Chain A
């Protein structure tokens, strides 16, 4: 047995270590050293906060919520289109279809919200109070009121064509249209306030942009859906141009915002999602619609159909992108 190096050669050791046991200790030490991460672990600092851990919590919403933003926005805008279309004496078929989208949307929306909450009673818990300082509370009441209006307008429309209760039908349609118009406008816009009035930086820095952005997005989705249902009125074309123009402006505003807090809207996967949603809602349908104005017959119809599809897909992606960006923004939050 060879001699081991001794720490204090002047002191005679009381025990003589065995080489294999010492080698075992060396092995354990080597294994332990392998556990040390190659890079030094994070430190707390004024810049990175507490070990670069997020200061804020990420939103707890599941996939139903971005989908609700899309459905609710499309329903609200469809309600407005339906009511104005009836007022202006447009085609009854357009009025009927716009009302239908509004109605279906107003039925699907609570289902999505309940699915996110877990059970129906939890949705009802929001109907025990009205809190004007909570956009969530305001929104749920707007949705309920809108549902009532949409139901009345649809039932009224059905009665008119399927029964002889003309007066009742007219009354229900008028009351329903009024309700749908009155609550469709906030339904299409409040979701911007909902996510804007939070502590999530990427959202609250855009508080003034979001309601307009979401209104344009809802309008785009509604126009797109109506066009896909076969409506080709110049009014829808004009509305579509307006919405596409607005969305193009929104996209530019997002891209040009120099605030570091809105980075998640411009970079990384969330940034690209915002960009794809924006391009599909703005420049692409704008170009397609402009070309379709100078095209004839089948070609024009086809171009408008593509623009419509681009609108619907773009609107849906936009909503999902904003929620996703909120997650990234919360993850990257540091005390500042």
Chain B
């Protein structure tokens, strides 16, 4: 039986150092981003994309005087390292027309760059806005879950370099258990607003990258109900069949009704 590799990214431990972003780029040979000063807290990366497979969010809420980043009563500033979720039911994987996206022996979703043709259908099939087409290269790219490192028995680069163990790597069920314990531990310390992001009861049926965040999960652009586009197929093809039937019937009626008039 194959093991399910997973990430547990604990934002309560993240110090926003961005070592994960750097390590990911270095190990995977991903080109640097053009530096733009966003003005949005300390986040100049802004989103995951073709050249950003780890992205540290600096979630700055409305601050109150006297409340610091680790205040148990509600913190106005949280750091959270985002990554491809490697969904249990992955929209990108279903949509890919070339078979470039595959499920690996580690249960991760891997995009084979030598097969990808850059059709961009995975881009509009990802409910998290992770996978993106590299306009210069013409193909889509996303986190590989360090497939090469995992094959060699190594931890993914981002998890390895994380100085605070905010990014933990391991077996999915173990990490789910660890997340539960961590939430309880935080509660004991008076931090009651921490929760686990793991959308098991949604179309994706759970993710292989789960997160511990404080405050509303939507502040982290984490959707409560991530969609998988295949759920729309039944309605879509039914409508297509009806449309095709109507089109055929209409054309037949028009031409046969005209009595084969040679006009």
Interface residues of A (CB under 8 A from B): 37, 41-47, 49-51, 53-61, 77, 80-81, 84-85, 87-91, 117-118, 121-123, 125-126, 128-129, 131, 133-137, 140, 181, 185-186, 188-190, 192-193, 195-200, 203-204, 207-212, 214-216, 219, 231-236, 238-239, 242, 326, 330, 333-336
Q: Is the CB of B221 within 8 A of A239?
A: no
Could you tell me which residues of chain B, from 75 to 109, have a CB within 8 Å of some CB in chain A?
91, 94-100
Residues of B within 8 A of A199 (CB): 91, 124-127, 227, 229
Choose among B43, B46, B222, B260 the residue that contacts A90 (Cβ–Cβ < 8 A): B260
B117 touches A117 (CB 8 A): yes
Interface residues of B (CB under 8 A from A): 39-41, 43, 46-47, 49, 57, 59-62, 91, 94-100, 115-121, 123-133, 135, 138, 140, 216-225, 227, 229-230, 232-233, 235-240, 242-244, 246-248, 250-258, 260-263
Closest to B253 in A: A238
A197 to B118, CA, bound (A): 18
Q: Which residues of A contact B217 (CB under 8 A)?
A: 335
Contact B97 A137 (CB under 8 A): yes
B258: contacting residue among A133, A189, A235, CB under 8 A: A235
Query: Do A60 and B135 touch (CB < 8 A)?
Result: yes
The listed residue (A131, A232, A236) touching B99 by CB distance below 8 A is A131
Known: A77-B247, A123-B117. A60 touches B98 (CB 8 A): no
Known: A131-B94, A215-B243, A239-B251. 17 other contacts (CB 8 A): A42-B40, A44-B59, A45-B216, A57-B132, A61-B120, A88-B260, A129-B98, A136-B97, A185-B244, A196-B236, A197-B232, A198-B124, A199-B124, A199-B227, A211-B243, A215-B240, A334-B221
Partner of A196, one of B221, B232, B256, B258: B232
- In the assembly, what is the distance between CA of A275 and CA of B182, in Å? 53
Closest to B259 in A: A88
Name the CB-closest residue of B to A47: B218
Q: Does A234 lie within 8 Å of B239, measured CB to CB?
A: no
Which residues of the partner chain B approach A209 to less than 8 Å between Cβ atoms? 239
Interchain CB contact under 8 A, A211 and B236:
yes
Contacts of B130 in A (CB 8 A): 57
Would A50 and B237 count as touching, CB distance under 8 A? no
Contacts of B119 in A (CB 8 A): 117, 122, 126, 136
